[in-house]
Amino acid sequence: MPDDDAREESHKPASGGAQERDANEAIEVDDIAAAVVEKFPGTVFHDSHGQPVVHVARDAWLEVATFLRDEQQFTQCLDVTAVDHLVDSARFVPPGVSAERFEVVANFLSHPRNRRIRAICQVPEADPNVASLAEPYPGVNFGEREVYDLFGIAFEGHPDLTRILMPDDWEGFPLRKDDAPARVPVTFKEDPSP
């Protein structure tokens, strides 16, 4: 069908795209990512489908978010989530990033500049915690609680880090890849068993 052909054409990478640029050239293209990389040594930039992504050190997580708000006009943190890479054999890790089991991901938006940037922080399994972004971005309060509840990643400095979806006495973290699936029987309506 014509629509299918057009859709497929739009997903083909153009020659000279971001994948073919080296890292230094890509940083020059995105001034905000370049500013983050310059201000925070050890930060790694890469382009993900046209969106700038910065991989930041865990100890600079809060500082990067505050820098984006105060110096780069990123007034919103749209969401905070996490990824468990325990069984991810085809994981992409940019050169210069030391992969850990968990990643905490935050997406920032600047209305004045009409720009987005994603920040990713590696979090080790042995010490699953990172600084909370709730002070500079109060809207992440519930997102961080959800990550804590489902992945077990603690956000240091969070004003009320308690479970938000699971019962308070729940043991384990349901979105961790090693959490036992279906350990609690679910009784559906109309189920013939008691």
Residue reference for tokens 């971005």: 137
| Residues 160 and 93 sit within 8 Å (Cβ to Cβ) | no
Residue reference for tokens 């089991």: 101
| Residues 106 and 77 sit within 8 Å (Cβ to Cβ) | yes
Asked if the model's pLDDT at residue 22 lies above 70, the reply is: no
Top pLDDT among 169 and 18 is at 169
Cα(43)–Cα(54) distance, rounded to whole angstroms?
7
Domains in the chain, start-ordered, CATH in brackets? Answer: 40-90+100-178 (3.30.460.80)
Top pLDDT among 135 and 90 is at 135
- Render 22-49 in DSSP notation, one character per residue: -HHHHHHH-HHHHHHHHHSTT-EEEEET
> Which among 70, 73, 52 has a CA at the least distance from the CA of 62?
70
H/E run at residue 95: none
Provide mean pLDDT across the span 136-156: 97
Alpha helices in the chain (DSSP H): 2-10, 23-29, 31-39, 61-72, 141-151
The pLDDT assigned to 67 comes to 98
Amino acid letter at 46? H
Lowest mean pLDDT across 53-67, 79-93, 127-141, 167-181: 167-181
Can you give the pTM of this predicted structure? 0.79
Helix axes 31-39, 61-72, angle to 10 degrees: 130
pLDDT class of 53 with cuts at 50, 70, 90: very high
